Amino acid sequence: MVVENNYISILTKNLPKHWESFRIGSVFVERTEKVSDKDFAPLSVTMKGIVPQLDTIAKTNNGDSRKKVCLNDFVINSRSDRKGSGGMSKYEGSVSLINTVLKPNDKYENRYTNYLFTNVLFQEEFYKFGKGIVDDMWSTKYFDMKYIKVPCPPIEEQITIANHLDSQSKKIKHFIKKKQTFIALLKEQRQAVINKAVTKGINPNVTLKNSGIDWLGNIPEHWEVIKLVGLCHFVRGNSTFKKDELLNNGKYVALQYGKTYKVDEIDENYYFYVNEEFYKSTQTIKFGDVIVVSTSETIEDLGHSVFYNRNDIGLLGGEQIALKPYHQNIDNKYLYYSAKLFTKTLQIYATGVKVFRFNINHLKTIYTSLPPKEEQVQIVSHIKTETAKIDKAITQAQKEIELIKEYKEAMIAEAVLGKLNHKIMGNRSEIPNSSPQNSSNVLHNGAN
């Protein structure tokens, strides 16, 4: 329970003198009407706002056990593990009972309300009022939320602030979109470097022959074409650890497919572990093994390959297949780069609607190219050199996206708390240039 006399809100410190402040409970009313999702379309409360119910949410018949949401209501998820999920609704509908729904108030402009309640400082204050048994998951109910003190500028200033933030947010969105497009182009260029090196080699003057394999096309005439099963044996993952059983430290590296499909290499930056109770000698992974993810929610990610670049032992979880080279004529890293191409052919075997998969027998149908071992090593070195330039540009672009997101959070927090009035009125805030620097150089150089 909040002791009102001792409570000082971080949201109302040093406000402009002409601004007011109120406890949420004195100006906003909770909407508590229960409705059926048959009469009021189900909505999802997400980090990006209030949206029609997502396909990934389990559809259940909840009867009348939902809360009504009207246009311009503000909805926030009360659970701490959903921190940041909320927003002003553009839809009529219903949400689960775990959410708090606030009706619009004539003291507040709706857009200003949305910026105020979705900014990071309010989120911290909101969850500070939560209660629960588990440290990392508790709820902040309206009964506690109503004590939070929030600023209330004159309505004209709220409109000015909201207009300013709308304008700046639009520029930031454009900036991020251009950076994301740039990153996508770089990733395509990265894959093109791998494709060319693995299928044509690095000697531009070599004589080519028809491989007879669609994904390979024409290859250097001195290369072999061989079935994958002739180069390595396959291990189907079946270690039983679940995502919530992973540790930050442990005896064995835990290769859980929900983690591995997000990375290209398992190295020292991968920090998920399990202990002896999950050990299976048939499921061990060692340095140089290649892991192929055999299940995915998107057809594009099916067959994602990962290189195991660690000296300690890993254990292979389900929905993955390990390629363990046993032939002395195959370089492990060359096999990994080759897998970036041949696993895509496995998409033709994909079964499923919302989750796609292939099985170990499908891998046995795959052919790949086999240059001489020395040439494989040269190809791997070439790929590393060329992709390092591209990876550096990708990392820089991703960093710029994160920085602009941080800038946006700070800008919103300062604006709704009255710290940017002079800038807003003078319209002097600026967003960085959205043109990716050196993009043409990176893309053109990467193509060589």
In degrees rounded to 5, what are phi and psi of residue 308? -90, 105
Q: What is the DSSP letter of 344?
A: G
Grouping H, G, I as helix, E, B as strand and the rest as coil, residue 287 is coil
Give the homologous superfamily in CATH for domain 4-152: DNA methylase specificity domains (3.90.220.20)
Fold assignment, 224-368: Adenine-n6-DNA-methyltransferase TaqI; Chain A, domain 2 (3.90.220)
Residue 155's identity, in one-letter code, is: I
* pLDDT cut 70: percent of the chain above it: 89
Say yes or no: do domains 154-222+371-448 and 224-368 share a fold. Answer: no
**Nearest C-alpha neighbor of 96 from the set 72, 138, 67:** 67
Look at residue 302 in the predicted model and tell me its pLDDT. Answer: 86
User: How high is the mean pLDDT of the chain?
Assistant: 88
Strand partners, 233: 324
Cα four-point dihedral sign 119, 125, 131, 132: positive
CA distances to 30, 75, 131, 418 from 78, rounded to whole Å, are: 13, 9, 10, 27
Q: Lowest mean pLDDT: which of 133-142, 201-210, 404-413? A: 133-142
- Tell me: the pLDDT tens digits for 81-100? 788 899 999 999 999 999 99
The residue ranges of every structural domain in the chain are 4-152, 154-222+371-448, 224-368
Question: What is the sign, positive or negative, of the torsion defined by CA atoms of 110, 143, 78, 118?
Answer: positive
Distance of alpha carbon 305 from alpha carbon 284, whole angstroms: 17
The 8 Å CB, 24+ separation contacts for 434-440 are 434/171, 434/174, 434/175, 434/178, 434/179, 435/178, 436/178, 436/179, 436/182, 436/397, 438/393, 439/182, 439/185, 439/393
Taking a C-beta distance cutoff of 8 angstroms, is the pair 299, 356 a contact?
yes
Instruction: Determine the pLDDT at residue 421.
Output: 61
Neighbours of 116 (CB within 10 A): 26
What per-residue confidence (pLDDT) applies to 373?
Answer: 96
**pTM, entire model:** 0.81
The domain 154-222+371-448 is classified under which CATH number: 3.40.50.2000, 3.40.50.1980, 1.10.287.1120, 2.60.120.10?
A: 1.10.287.1120
In this prediction, residue 202 carries a pLDDT of 96
Which candidate, 400, 434, 394, 402, places its Cα nearest to that of 168? Answer: 434
Convert the pLDDT of each residue in 128-149 to its tens digit: 887 776 555 678 889 989 999 9
Sign of the alpha-carbon dihedral angle for 241, 247, 251, 254: positive
Tens digit of pLDDT for each residue in 146-158?
Answer: 999 999 999 999 9
Give the pLDDT score at 327.
84
Q: What pLDDT does residue 435 have?
A: 46
Count Cβ atoms below 10 Å from residue 418 Cβ, excluding itself.
19
| DSSP H helix total and E strand total for the chain | 11, 27
The answer on pLDDT for 253 being more than 80 is yes
Residue type, 249: N
Mean pLDDT calculated for residue range 257-267:
91
- Give residue 28's pLDDT: 96
Structure confidence by residue, pLDDT tens digits, 20-68: 999 999 999 999 999 998 899 999 999 999 999 876 554 545 556 899 9
Alpha helices (H) along 20-82: 24-27
What distance, in Å, lies between the first and last C-alpha atoms of the chain? 66
pLDDT digits (tens, 9 = 90+) for 334-385: 999 999 998 888 888 888 777 888 888 989 899 999 999 999 999 999 999 9
The DSSP bridge pattern shows strands 273-274 and 305-308 to be: unpaired
Q: With cut-offs at 50, 70 and 90, classify the pLDDT of residue 1.
A: very low
Name the one residue in this structure whose structure tokens are 């990176």.
Answer: 442
Give the phi and the psi of residue 224 in degrees, each rounded to 5: -95, 160
